[in-house]
């Protein structure tokens, strides 16, 4: 997917198209007032106040039709510089534009004219509205003015624009592909999770099928960690404000946290991350250098108050569960432990067939004195140490300034999904800062107290986001070991008692073998039950008739296929057991 914001030619074109859309909306809704219309990664949008009118799918079609007229007229687009007083007069009565003008300096205000429409804008724009003709409006939603829930709800319309119809057509195909891969759609079809405003935006609930996947992921990563010497703990979802003042999160991360709760003279907050709790677990007793490394892991519930506009199903919510761990090491152990973390990351990626990713060394921006803990010597030591480890491991990486955590540099592994822009899945952070803040120590071999170094690492990231990623990569066609329902049994004749008895026998047998199996003997037609099993993306669908009962065999279909394969009961159990135990990505076809 193209990033419209970063590509200059598309950025200018799409910003111009936002003005074309605003002009068309003004033709159809003379009372319309506009807030902002920026270019974002996925295209452009404009926030509009239509008074009592509401934008619908039908009105989107009407807006597109009017936009085509505007483009066909081919009006020249002119830039003008005006004074602040002229701008206030030009947009008198428009509280949204006046609010923007209020913050502008006199003498630096520009407007753009195109035919009968003038808009406040710094530009740049294309020369002619005709250049914006290859567009498509893709979605619309309601948003609070300035993102404040106390303000009026405006209507936001999104669109995309390309220089050629071929590029637009290709992008629309990608958008359709993205819809099919959207984990929110897949989650609804497969009955995996739900959200409800009565519970709260950004607070998803996992339904039985979805929680099955969640548990499988939890068991999977915990088993790997246990084999590597991790000790798992459970810590509370809240902490005192003083805990986060000690860690530094209160100063550097407070705006992303839920408000403090005052109880019995103490202030508590929902935790945004788990490192302060794990620091206190380490501090619970004295440690010798012989104890290190100590690896503390947790599947931890965290809460961050993400802006409503950024919420996206289970990929980005206000509650999520991190596959978190903190490794307490001596300086001499840094290289070996980072190497083991990297090995674990790539071992997991191999299991899930994740191949499109890149490694990033995320560094601080020394000029940003607000975001980062101020200690130049600490930062130089930490960044040099992590850079050296990555080079010694022969890991190819790029460096990005300003992407570090506030307490230390990190290795980010960014995945490139099948549709959409890349994002960080796994991370390993090197921290000299928090151990000192919490006064953590160990007794070295010389008998002196030393401060350990901490590695913060997340392999799956959050289980929620990882599940969203896997659902979108596979379109919900999960490997057998991860599928919420592995086998669905469909008797051909659901009124045949002998056939139903055989279907129940097979269900019990597969259940005893440890498989997640369902028997669908409802009075619906076989074609209906087959279609429902396909929508739920059950990997193996058993279609049992009298032939299978008489021969004591099983006939199965793989999800998405029409071909039916008949095998013995024992062969089927052996096949599925092998596929589950070896966590195969795809079933092995019969010879």
The Cα 579–Cα 224 span in angstroms is 19
Q: Indicate the length of the chain as a whole number.
A: 591
Question: Is residue 257 within 8 Å of residue 305, measured between CB atoms?
Answer: yes
- Farthest-apart Cα atoms in the chain, separation: 91
Q: Are 480 and 576 in contact (CB under 8 A)?
A: yes
Is 231 among the catalytic positions? no
Which backbone phi and psi does 225 adopt, to 5 degrees?
Answer: -65, -40
List the catalytic residue out of 410, 529, 549, 559.
Answer: 410
Angle made by CA atoms 169, 174, 176, in degrees to the nearest 5: 95
Catalytic residue among 23, 114, 155, 322: 322
Q: Which long-range contacts (CB under 8 A, 24 or more apart) does 375-381 make?
A: 375/433, 378/432, 378/433, 379/408, 379/409, 381/432
Q: Which of 71, 132, 275, 433 is catalytic?
A: 275
- Residue 83: count other Cβ atoms within 10 Å of its Cβ: 12
Q: Where are the alpha helices (DSSP H) in 397-494?
A: 434-437, 463-474
Active-site choice (97, 319, 456, 575): 456
The residue from 326, 340, 373, 457 that is catalytic is 326
Contacts of 376 (CB under 8 A, 6+ apart): 366
Is-catalytic flag, 275?
yes
Q: How far apart are CA 430 and CA 453, in angstroms?
A: 8
Q: How far is the C-alpha of 66 from the C-alpha of 63, rounded, in Å?
A: 5
CB neighbour list of residue 256: distance below 8 Å, 6 or more residues apart:
272, 304, 305, 306
| Known catalytic membership, residue 322 | yes
On whether the CB atoms of residues 320 and 310 are closer than 8 A, the answer is no
Check 19, 304, 319, 559 and give the catalytic one.
304
Answer whether 422's CB lies under 8 Å from 354's CB: no
Is 304 an active-site residue?
yes
Residue 252 is a catalytic residue: no
Distance between CA atoms of 133 and 425, rounded to whole angstroms? 38
410 catalytic per annotation: yes
Indicate the Cα dihedral angle 576, 579, 585, 591, nearest 10°.
-80
Question: Catalytic one among 47, 49, 324, 412?
Answer: 324
Q: How many C-beta atoms lie closer than 10 Å to residue 552's C-beta?
A: 12
359: annotated active-site residue = no
Q: Which residues are catalytic?
A: 275, 304, 322, 324, 326, 410, 456
């Amino acid at each position: 997917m193209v990033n419209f914001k970063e590509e200059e030619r598309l950025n200018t074109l799409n910003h111009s198209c936002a003005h074309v859309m605003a002009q068309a909306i003004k033709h159809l809704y003379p009372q319309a007032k506009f807030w902002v219309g920026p270019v974002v990664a996925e295209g452009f949008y404009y926030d509009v106040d239509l008074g009592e009118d509401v934008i619908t799918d039908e009105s989107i079609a009407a807006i597109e039709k009017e936009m085509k007229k505007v483009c066909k007229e081919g009006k020249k687009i002119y830039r003008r510089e005006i004074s602040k007083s002229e701008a206030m007069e030009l947009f008198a009565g428009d509280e949204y534009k006046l609010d923007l003008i209020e913050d502008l300096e006199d003498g630096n205000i520009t407007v753009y004219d195109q035919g009968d429409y003038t808009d406040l804008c710094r530009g740049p724009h294309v020369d002619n509205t005709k250049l914006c003709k290859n567009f498509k409006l893709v979605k619309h939603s309601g948003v609070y003015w300035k993102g404040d829930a106390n303000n009026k709800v405006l209507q936001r319309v999104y669109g995309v624009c390309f220089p050629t119809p071929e590029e637009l057509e290709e992008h629309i195909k990608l958008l359709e592909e993205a819809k099919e891969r959207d984990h929110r759609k897949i989650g609804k079809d497969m009955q995996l999770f739900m959200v409800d405003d009565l519970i709260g935006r950004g607070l998803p609930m996992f339904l039985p099928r979805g929680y099955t996947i969640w548990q499988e992921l939890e068991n999977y990563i915990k088993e790997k960690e246990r084999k590597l010497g991790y000790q798992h703990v459970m810590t509370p979802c809240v902490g005192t404000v003083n805990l986060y003042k000690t860690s530094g999160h209160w100063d550097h991360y407070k705006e992303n946290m839920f408000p403090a709760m005052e109880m019995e003279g103490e202030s508590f907050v929902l935790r945004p991350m788990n490192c302060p709790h794990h620091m206190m677990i380490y501090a619970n007793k004295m440690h010798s250098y012989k104890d290190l490394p100590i690896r503390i892991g947790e599947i931890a519930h965290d809460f961050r108050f993400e802006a409503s506009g950024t919420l996206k199903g289970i990929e980005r919510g206000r509650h999520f569960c991190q596959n978190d761990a903190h490794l307490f090491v001596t300086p001499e152990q840094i290289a070996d432990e980072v190497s083991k973390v990297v090995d674990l990351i790539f071992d997991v990626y191999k299991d899930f067939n994740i191949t499109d990713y890149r490694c990033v060394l995320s560094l601080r921006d020394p000029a940003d004195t607000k975001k980062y803990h101020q200690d130049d010597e600490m930062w130089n030591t930490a960044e040099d140490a992590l850079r050296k480890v990555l080079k010694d491991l022969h890991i190819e990486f790029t460096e990005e300034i300003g992407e570090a955590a506030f307490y230390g540099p990190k290795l980010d592994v960014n995945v490139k999904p099948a549709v959409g822009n890349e994002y960080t899945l796994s991370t390993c952070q090197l921290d000299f800062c928090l151990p000192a803040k919490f006064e953590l120590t160990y007794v070295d071999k010389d008998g002196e107290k030393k401060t350990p170094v901490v590695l913060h690492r997340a392999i799956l990231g959050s289980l929620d986001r990882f599940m969203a990623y896997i659902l979108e990569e596979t379109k919900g066609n999960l490997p057998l070991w991860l599928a919420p329902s592995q086998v669905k049994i469909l008797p051909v004749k659901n009124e045949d008692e002998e056939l139903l008895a055989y279907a129940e026998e097979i269900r019990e047998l597969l259940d005893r073998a440890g498989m997640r199996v369902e028997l669908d003997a409802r009075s619906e037609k076989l074609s209906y039950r087959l279609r429902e099993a396909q929508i739920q993306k059950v990997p193996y669908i058993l279609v049992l008739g009298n032939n299978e009962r008489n021969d004591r065999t099983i006939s199965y279909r793989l999800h998405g296929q029409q071909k039916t394969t008949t095998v013995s009961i024992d062969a089927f159990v052996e096949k599925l057991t092998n596929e589950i135990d070896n966590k195969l990505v795809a079933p092995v076809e019969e010879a």
